[in-house]
Amino acid sequence: MNDATSSIRSFDPGNGEFLGEAPICGPAEVKLAIAKSRNALPAWRDLGYQGRGRALLRLRDALRDDHRAFAELLSRENGKPLPDALAEVLSACEFLAYYAKNAGKFLRDRPIRVPNPVMRNQKTFLTYQPKGVVAVITPWNYPLLLSMSSIAGALVAGNTVLHKPSEWTPLIAMRLDRLAKEALPQGVLELLTGDGTTGAALLDAPIDHVCFTGSVATGITVAQKAASKLITATLELGGKDPALVLPDADLDFTARGVVWAAFSNSGQACASIERLYVPQSLAQSLTEKIVRRVNALSIGHGLEKGVEVGPIINELQMAKIEAHLADARAKGAKILIGGHRLEGKGLFFAPTVLTGVTPDMLIMQEETFGPILPIIPLDSVEEMILAANDSPFGLSASVWGRDLKIAEQVARQVDSGTVWVNTGLDTYGTPQTPRGGFKQGGIGKVGGEAGLMELVEAKVIDMNRSGRPRPFWFPVSRGLADFFSGSLMALHGAGLGDRARGALDLMRHFPRP
């Protein structure tokens, strides 16, 4: 990927066309970007959440005005169909607007009531301040959405941001950077294109928080780096996402929803369905309906009209898909449709449905990140729940059934950060809902109020408003022990009588200044 001029060359995975190049930023560029971000931090922080919100809305407006050209570039560099690219631009605008309009509600000072009489005549409240300089390291599969969901929150919280995009989609990040330069103050959002060496240099730099979206292996490295510096990290990692079909499911509806959630973005989503558990009694009928829908999918370049499934991002990802499928076939899995790359220009893999899979197959153990759907018949819902949870991953899952009360009960038993009922993938584009995984699915949340709280430091301010010494200050009064004993009983006595006697004892021995 890198040439003699230390740059990244970007290609359209749908036809191999050269799109452009981006520099590989090294330690010197990282150091300069850190300095700019650190210098910009005080003024950006002191602008307040209202001023920062107005700046985010300017960026939203710039992205809105550029949305068609931006989506076309996104479709070409990432490969996804144009409607999906436009939906991603829409979601990015949603995140900017959501945080701009709701920052005051989330970041306002919050009073704390302290009923302990020892601490009377005080004002105590919780306030929030930015972490500082935040590194946002993002992947290629949703290069705008997954970037903006962290960037928007970090910026509105008063942080400055260093954005390191994937080396496979640098041009999208560069286009965003040009828009940001017009909408935001200098140094508030700095771009660092590059490869793994750029990311490593950024993690070695004096940052204050890191938001990382990507693989478990890299996420562990990021976590170790953060721990060594005693800084916080938000990690959104991999998934091996299960779907559980309940006995009362509408099979036509379920087949349509499952095919969408399994093959959208060519299965290159951490929240894609990668394991489908079905009751034995429904397996044949549902499988036939799924295969018919998969057979009807339109595959092609993302800018072609009517295309539903685009290319695989690169040969590395293609090799992983082929390795998982080869392992499954060698161990007895049956391919019902697909199972091979398509000939011609571009990196296309035929949407694939498998049966006869077993737990020892790679395709059931590791994240595939491709257009492959294994179907696993089981005898009971209890077995499905056990199988769904029998994984080191816990990012997302889905449950499919008519009885919503039962479906919700099942959803509560699945160990995943997000569980959809009769749908899939959709809340990743809605800023109100935090996302994040259990187990190897990650640490922390992105989006919503919970995600914003990841990007600030909570500070308690406690004010003694009485102008008098606290009763426990030196010198110790003779009745202090009885005062504390009375306080304990007044607050925590076994009954009303104990609490009343405690209150009297407290008042009798209240230390006088």
What are the DSSP calls for 408-468, one per residue? HHHHHHS--SEEEES--SGGGG-TTS-B--EETTEES-BSHHHHHHTTEEEEEEEEE-SSS
CATH code that applies to domain 27-237+449-458:
3.40.605.10
- Model confidence pLDDT, tens digit, residues 187-213: 999 999 999 999 999 999 999 999 999
Annotated active-site residue 236? The verdict is yes
CATH code that applies to domain 241-429:
3.40.309.10
* Options 29, 190, 236, 308, the catalytic residue: 236
Query: Tokens representing 75?
Result: 């479709």
- Model confidence pLDDT, tens digit, residues 45-70: 999 999 999 999 999 999 999 999 99
Query: In whole angstroms, what is the distance from residue 483 CA to residue 472 CA?
Result: 10
**How much of the chain, in percent, has pLDDT values that exceed 70?**
98
One fold for 27-237+449-458 and 241-429: no
Neighbours of 441 (CB within 10 A): 29
pLDDT by 10s per residue, the chain, length 513 = 444 348 999 999 999 999 999 999 999 999 999 999 999 999 999 999 999 999 999 999 999 999 999 999 999 999 999 999 999 999 999 999 999 999 999 999 999 998 877 777 788 999 999 999 999 999 999 999 999 999 999 999 999 999 999 999 999 999 999 999 999 999 999 999 999 999 999 999 999 999 999 999 999 999 999 999 999 999 999 999 999 999 999 999 999 999 999 999 999 999 999 999 999 999 999 999 999 999 999 999 999 999 999 999 999 999 999 999 999 999 999 999 999 999 989 999 999 999 999 999 999 999 999 999 999 999 999 999 999 999 999 999 999 999 999 999 999 999 999 999 999 998 888 999 999 999 999 999 999 999 999 999 999 999 988 888 888 888 888 888 998 899 899 999 999 999 999 989 888 887 776
Domain extents in the chain? 27-237+449-458, 241-429, 468-508
DSSP tag of 272 = S
Query: In whole angstroms, what is the distance from residue 401 CA to residue 417 CA?
Result: 20
Q: What is the pTM of this model?
A: 0.93
Q: Dihedral sign, CA of 341, 145, 171, 167?
A: negative
Amino acid at 152: A
- Model confidence pLDDT, tens digit, residues 203-249: 999 999 999 999 999 999 999 999 999 999 999 999 999 999 999 99
Query: In whole angstroms, what is the distance from residue 315 CA to residue 87 CA?
Result: 26
CB burial string 40-65: b at 16+ within 10 A, e below = bbeebbebebeebbebbbbbbebbee
62 in Cβ contact with 97 (< 8 Å):
no
Query: In whole angstroms, what is the distance from residue 81 CA to residue 32 CA?
Result: 37
* Options 190, 270, 366, 367, the catalytic residue: 270
Annotated active-site residue 25? The verdict is no
**What are the start-end ranges of the H helices in 79-168?**
82-107, 145-156
Cβ neighbours for 112, distance < 8 A, ≥ 6 positions apart: 124, 125, 126, 460
Q: What is the mean pLDDT of the chain?
A: 95
With tokens 């996302």, the residue in question is 435
CB burial string 93-104: b at 16+ within 10 A, e below = bbbbbbbbebbe
